[in-house]
A = this chain, B = another copy of it.
Amino acid sequence: MADAVGTTRRGRGARKTIRQTRDVTMLPALKRRLPLTEPMDQDQIEKIDAASMSVLEDVGVVFRDPIAIADWRAAGADIRDGDRVHLDRGLVRELISSIPSSFTYHARNPANNLPFGHDHSIFVPMTGAPYLRDLEDTRRNPTLEDLANFHKLSHMLPAMHSSAHHIVEPYDHPISQRHLRITYSSMKHSDKTFMGMTTSPKNAEDVMEMCVLLFGADYMQSHPVVTGNCNGNSPLVWDETMLGALRAFAKYNQPILCSPFVLGGANTPASVAPTVAQLNAEALSCLAYTQVVRKGMPAIYGHYLATVSMRSGAPMAGTPEISLMNFMIGQMARHYNVPWRTSNTLGGAKTLDAQAGYESAMTLNAVLMAGANYIWHSAGWNEAGMHCSMSKFVVDAELCAMGYRMAEGIRWDDFDAAMQAVRDIGPGGHYLGHSHTLENFQRAFFMPEMFDNNSIEQWQADGALDTNTRGLIRARQMLDEYEEPKLDPGIDEALGDYIARREREIPAADALNQEY
């Protein structure tokens, strides 16, 4: 089954034709070869660790969930005030020691499987936007069709390693049933790995059932195929909704991101290192809980992280402290030997203007140099996550490809041949016709397509298009060229039947979204 889960070999010929004009082959999981930015020495790492552990011991973490409290009691934690869990550092260390430090994501197309953890990184699109900027750059509520378009782009963009889940919220479908259509869209329009909705325990169970139809229940027990996110309520609270979803994923041994939701200065102290210490305590408490639920299940040290402007209360990203905190969090995750997740390309620009570019690139650099494994929100994010931009989606993806190239490091394989070229050419010559140049020019220097390096005269002749407009044109072109990856018709039918049954069972009328 691992050979071609849910796929057939048809359509390869047609795809090959397309590839002659645009290569949509996914880049392998990035294997980083640059040294990481590690600003803390061992004493400072231990200072953060000690501060976090004493918060877990003395202050405790609230698990607003009777099942979790019962689980913790059985695991030997000290429960006070009903739902406040005080965790001894010895217990925490013992629990997190069973988290796999690496594993492989299995996609329905095995060519898109991804080694994960250690020095591997993967790029995952943004999710959760209540608005999109569409192919006309109009900002509006999204539909299932818009979501499908983002999944199609995710499928085609080489630097995107996942189709994620609700990249945008499909407002044309009842909220109570939406997770079914979102999951199907992720599975159907791309054959890369994806994410599973954790908006309620029941929704997460539906995602698991649909994954069972695609991959098989036994297969899932030993193969990570999907990722769930468990957001915390900083400071120091986890709630029943997300913990229940976590347990649904645990039942099938699927990876969970343990993500404190941090607005630095509002729900943490107004300071970099203490914010990391609190976030670290929160992440540890959830990571430990995953192992209470199921020892050995894959879990990922997560976080969502913005800082708050003390002038306006607005969340800020792309700012220096976000970079510093990412460097530090990476060190902590490696200290605990667990893979970790960060957020890429965050920022507050309202359009794909220069601000969006500056913010996205600042964050991309930081998360690569921080050594993040699961680089979420890597395409499309703008307006503090309020919208996903079709144009920015494709431009960000090229930026990720450029970051990927940088993080791969230096090639030395042609060094001697190239130094011979220096001798051949000598002072005052030029290299354009030399055989080394002819043999290496295609791979030597990244040639971006969304970044225009032509003269202003050529640029004007091409229509004087700004980056946003070029991105919109590219997105339209790609959607025109999209070819659906084949899905086994039997599996497709089973998924349809499942959705139809569940949509009969789940009340829709009282759950229509007001905004649509």
Binding site for B on A (CB under 8 A): 33-35, 37-40, 44, 47, 51, 55, 58-62, 84, 139, 233, 235-237, 264-274, 277-278, 307-312, 314-316, 318-321, 323-324, 327-328, 347-362, 364-366, 369, 383-384, 386, 392, 395, 399, 402-403, 405-406, 409-412, 414-415, 418-419, 421-423, 425-432, 434, 436-437, 440-442, 444-448, 450-456, 458-459, 464, 466-468
Contact = CB atoms under 8 A, between A and B. Distances in A.
A375 to B, nearest CB: 16
Contact of A235 (B47, B59, B351, B422): B422
Contacts of A354: 352-354, 356-357, 392, 395, 466-468
A351 to B, nearest CB: 6
A321 B403 CA distance: 10
B268 A454 contact: no
B273 A412 contact: yes
A236 B411 contact: no
B324 A410 contact: yes
The 3 A-B pairs with the shortest beta carbon distances in the complex, nearest first, are A357-B357, A274-B418, A361-B361
Contact of A369 (B37, B321, B352, B444): B37
Given A265-B437, A307-B445, A350-B464, A422 B55 contact: yes
A424 to B, nearest CB: 10
B277 A419 contact: yes
A120 B316 CA distance: 28
B236 A426 contact: yes
This protein's copies in its complex:
2
A406 B362 CA distance: 10
Main secondary structure of the interface of A (DSSP, over half): mixed
Contacts of A431: 235, 265-270
A59 to B, nearest CB: 6
A265 B445 contact: yes
A445 B316 contact: yes
B37 A34 contact: yes
Contacts of A237: 427-428
B39 A33 contact: yes
A40 B444 CA distance: 18
16 contacts: A47-B412, A55-B422, A62-B428, A269-B422, A270-B431, A271-B418, A272-B444, A277-B419, A309-B447, A316-B453, A320-B402, A348-B453, A353-B466, A354-B357, A354-B467, A358-B395
A103 to B, nearest CB: 28
A169 B446 CA distance: 32
